Structure 1
Amino acid sequence: MRKPADPPAAPPQAPEADDAALFRQAIGEVRRVHSQTPAPQKPRPRPRARMAEHDEQAALSEFRRGLEAMPIEAGDTLSYHRNELPARIWQRLKRGQFSIQDELDLHGATAAQAEQLLRMFLREAQRAGTACIRIVHGKGLGSDADIPVLKNVVDRVLRQRADVLGFHSAIPAQGGTGAVVVLLSARRPGSP
């Protein structure tokens, strides 16, 4: 007896076609979503406290006008201290009993240069942990202005700094009213 003939074999399908058919069968019916993706936008700027900035600028401007209205004269003594500075430390500063650790001489600088140099010097002194510095500003006798410009700049900048505990014109042996000795607060841990 003869065997019946085998049915003709189906032509082999490409494996990609099988995978695609299996995938479509697994996910079921699909519907197309027609949406447009929004165009990329710039990130919004961080919010600023504009009123606080304005108030601070106004206060600083008023402070500067007050200082300019009553300029310091050539022979005047620079003197200022924060309330938290103990009285005995303040007296020692006035008597010139602190060892000067660093010095900045502003002779020959313009007012703008002096202010920039002084701010950089104070920042570096604070980073280095320096406690007592001397700033030589001169008496302003050779200045074209009627007032000692650098002396007034130094006084204004030092009064604005939170890291300045106090300052006083130097004793005559350290420069007299042509220099100022400054006590700085200790560097806070973690501050740059």
Structure 2
Amino acid sequence: MKRPIRPDEHRLWSMVAATVHPLPGRKPAPAPKAATAAKAPPRATADPLPPPQWNGAAFMVGELAGRGLPPRAGKPDAEDKGIEPRRKHRIARERDPIGGRIDLHGMTQDRARAALEAFLRRSHDDGARAVLVITGKGVQGDGVLRRRTPEWLADPALRDVVAGISEAHRRHGGEGALYVALKRKARG
């Protein structure tokens, strides 16, 4: 059985569909119907996702959207906290070396955050340009460290160190790991 389309999903689809035009000689597809007759009861979730936000290149949902990035036109830059696709590809293929790895398995949140911050600062001081942070997936794929690590990396205290983050390639841990691109060390 299909679930009904939620109002926020319908609104998002309407915004996307408004930018698409049919090929010459084709008729536009019918718009999806919103389920207005029977509203589904609100789901009980631990962390409800914020509404989608436009960052100028794509919609962002989840931890990255909650950072309140201002909408911009053009290509994403370092403030978007995403790694450029070509750089991510070079890191995944190890053409850009991974300067270090940290495994946060089995740590408490406080210990993991402290270890992560110290590791990132040490790697940045050593001149590393990318590191691998292994969070694990958790028991059912919703591990606390997996959810919280992007928040920690977006913290203003690490703004001078972190250039971007991206999910790791399958051979480096996939959903249970993150590539963290580091900024160049200031000369002087």
Matches within 5 A, 1:15-164: 69-70=48-49, 83-84=77-78, 90-95=84-89, 96-97=92-93, 98-141=96-139, 147-160=142-155, 161-162=158-159, 163-164=161-162
Further displaced range: 89-98 or 163-172: 89-98
The structural deviation recorded for 1:78 is 8.5
Change in Cα spacing, 1:84 to 1:153, as seen in structure 2 (3 Å) is: closer
The 8 Å contact of residues 49 and 62 in structure 2, kept in 1 or not, is answered as: no
Moved over 6 A (4+): 76-82
The one-letter code sitting in structure 1 at the alignment partner of 2:85 is Q
Higher relative contact order (CA 8 A, sep 6+): 1
Q: Distance in 2 between matches of 1:180 and 1:121?
A: 14
Q: Any idea what the Cα deviations from partners look like across 1:4-32, whole Å, max 9, x if unmatched?
A: xxxxxxxxxxxxxxxxxxxxxxxxxxxxx
**Secondary structure at the counterpart of residue 125 of structure 1:** helix
More helix by share: 1
Change in Cα spacing, 1:174 to 1:79, as seen in structure 2 (3 Å) is: farther
In structure 1, the partner of 2:179 is 181
Change in Cα spacing, 1:93 to 1:148, as seen in structure 2 (3 Å) is: farther
The structural deviation recorded for 1:174 is 1.0
The one-letter code sitting in structure 2 at the alignment partner of 1:149 is V
TM-score (norm 1): 0.51
Q: Any idea what the Cα deviations from partners look like across 1:25-46, whole Å, max 9, x if unmatched?
A: xxxxxxxxxxxxxxxxxxxxxx
The structural deviation recorded for 1:90 is 0.7
Q: What RMSD, in angstroms, separates the aligned Cα atoms of the two structures?
A: 3.1
The structural deviation recorded for 1:79 is 7.5
TM-score (norm 2): 0.52
In structure 2, stretches of 5+ residues that fail to align are 1-46, 51-60, 66-74
Q: Distance in 1 between matches of 2:124 and 2:88?
A: 21
In structure 1, the partner of 2:168 is 170
The 8 Å contact of residues 114 and 153 in structure 1, kept in 2 or not, is answered as: no
The 8 Å contact of residues 134 and 181 in structure 1, kept in 2 or not, is answered as: yes
Q: How many residue pairs get matched?
A: 113
In structure 1, stretches of 5+ residues that fail to align are 1-67
**Secondary structure at the counterpart of residue 185 of structure 2:** coil
The one-letter code sitting in structure 2 at the alignment partner of 1:70 is L
The structural deviation recorded for 1:135 is 0.4
The structural deviation recorded for 1:84 is 4.0
Q: Distance in 1 between matches of 2:125 and 2:76?
A: 21
